[in-house]
Structure 1
Amino acid sequence: MKKLTTGLKYAVLIVAAFVSIFPFFWMVLSMTNETVDIITGKMMIGKEFMTNLTNLMTNDLGFQRAVVNSSVIAIITTFFSLLLSSMAGYGFEIYRSPKKEWLFNLLLLSMMVPFSAMMIPLYTMFSKMSPSMFGINTLFSVIIPSVCTAFTIFLFRQNIKSFPKSLVEAARIDGLGELAIFFKIYMPTAKNIYAAAAIITFMSSWNNYLWPLVALQSPEKRTVPLVLSAMGSSYTPDYGMMMTGIVIATLPIAVIFFMLQKQFVQGMLGSVK
């Protein structure tokens, strides 16, 4: 009976693994085939990879420029999100204030507001800013709304709950400033949660579609999701080229995740505790 139960568990895990891996496996095969073979469901490695890659890089939609734009947005957003969110989470947990919990609960309530309901106020606000730097159709108009989110603040605060407060008190007695305590004592001990938050923030920023679609109006400011969407909206889409672009767009997230997966798991577990 025990062997049967174990066998069923492994069978379920194998099926789940196959269902999870198959879409990516199919994308990799498809980027080596032409559109006709992909439509007919060919499941073999083809010889059209270089053709698809050349078409992707020379396409009028500007895939290479979109990769640069997405990289700039994702890297800047991740850096400032980690810095500001960790400082906010640290402040909410370390410093005492009678109104702190009310403010934090209000912050959490903002997570329940759908982003589509905030697009018009955001568009109005950015349209009144300097058009050369922070206004609509600039990369900063996409970066700023994602720099500090309620979820990442919550994530850091939950992690800081397990941070020994005695270290903070000891550092204060020794004359260390508050910023020095944060940068020299807390940050070196929180590498796991920083890795977890970095993966979540980078992935969210890299895959962001709705707000960039509204805010970035010039073709040269497009991000990768916008270019991939434009490829599929033509009358005769080149699926081989699209699949090549999708695989390339997936690689940065996959590489970062596999590099930091151990820290990601430990960071998330630490936050849950």
Structure 2
Amino acid sequence: MSIISVFPLYWMINASTNKSIDITRGKLLPGSAFFENFKNLLASQDVSSAMINSFKYALILTFLSLLVCSLAGYGFEIYHDKGKDIVMSIILLAMMVPFAAIMIPLFQMFSKAKLLNSTLGFILPTISTPFLIMLFRQSSRSFPHDIIEAARLDGLNEIQIFFKIFLPTMKSTYAAAFTITFMNAWNSYLWPKVIMTNKKSITMPMLVANLTEGYVTDYGMLMLGVLLCTIPTIIIFFVLQKYFAEGITGAIK
């Protein structure tokens, strides 16, 4: 089962080193066309611009999402109010609405607000997600309330308690949320395809999709584009995998 799971990754790396004709013939050994594919990719697409855009959009969205959703999850759990469970239920109901159902109204709204081809237009629809709010709320349940009371007695206000005590304590949850949010933002295709109408605002998933256009597809160049698009998420996951597992486990508890 492990071999079956890893094989697509091996095939992607292997295909990026072969010519298109070798890939269509089913060659499963590395070739010598990696630099040729890389040269062709740079000549046909603005890879550096797409990579910079993807990093910029993904990082800004990730950090803002972590801030907003962690504040919301912390507030839902720490502060008591009769209507908070009702509000939380309404937020969770939003998970049942498919994005395609609200995509056209969102585009019209963002177009009238002149937010097309902007970072703000990219991040606003997903800056706060029900899943992340629920994740931080579940994690906040294991946060000792005695520490909060002690901090209040020491003179810390609520914002200071959050940033100086809660945030450092929940490193594993933040790591898990960072991994999930960054990967989703990096791999996002549908909304950027709609909102980014300028070629200068292209992202890596959009660039890879562009490689399939035309009468003939160069599969070697296409697989190299997919490999370049995959590397950042692989690095993020392997660097944070320990904290990711701890954060998810802690949230479930």
Are 1:83 and 2:67 matched, yes or no? yes
Q: Where in structure 2 are the equivalents of 1:10-29 lying within 5 Å?
A: 16-29=1-14
Measured in 2, the distance between the counterparts of 1:84 and 1:66 equals 27
What's the offset of the Cα at 1:218? 1.1
What's the offset of the Cα at 1:140? 1.9
Counterpart of 1:143 in structure 2 is 123
Q: Where in structure 2 are the equivalents of 1:174-253 lying within 5 Å?
A: 174-253=154-233
What's the offset of the Cα at 1:57? 1.5
Measured in 2, the distance between the counterparts of 1:148 and 1:185 equals 23
Please, what is the CA RMSD of the aligned residues?
0.9
Which of 55, 64, 71 is the aligned partner of 1:71? Answer: 55
Measured in 1, the distance between the counterparts of 2:228 and 2:208 equals 11
Measured in 1, the distance between the counterparts of 2:142 and 2:207 equals 43
TM-score normalized with structure 1 length: 0.91
Measured in 2, the distance between the counterparts of 1:117 and 1:162 equals 36
Measured in 2, the distance between the counterparts of 1:225 and 1:70 equals 9
Equivalent position amino acid for 1:124 in 2: Q
User: Among the aligned pairs, what percent are the same residue?
Assistant: 46
Counterpart of 2:19 in structure 1 is 34
What's the offset of the Cα at 1:118? 1.0
Measured in 2, the distance between the counterparts of 1:176 and 1:138 equals 38
1:68-126 CA-partner distances (Å, limit 9, x unpaired) = 11110000000101111100000000011110100010000001000001112211211
- Number of equivalent positions: 253
For the pair shown, which has the larger CA radius of gyration, 1 or 2? 1
Counterpart of 1:126 in structure 2 is 110
What's the offset of the Cα at 1:137? 2.2
Counterpart of 1:95 in structure 2 is 79
In the alignment, structure 2 segments of 5+ residues that lack a partner are none
Counterpart of 2:90 in structure 1 is 106
* Secondary structure in 1 matching 2:89: helix
What's the offset of the Cα at 1:128? 1.7
Counterpart of 2:100 in structure 1 is 116
Equivalent position amino acid for 2:17 in 1: T
In the alignment, structure 1 segments of 5+ residues that lack a partner are 1-15
1:27-78 CA-partner distances (Å, limit 9, x unpaired) = 111111000000000011111000011111221x322211111110000000
* Secondary structure in 1 matching 2:142: coil
TM-score normalized with structure 2 length: 0.98
* Secondary structure in 2 matching 1:118: helix
- Which moved further from structure 2: 139-148 or 178-187? 139-148
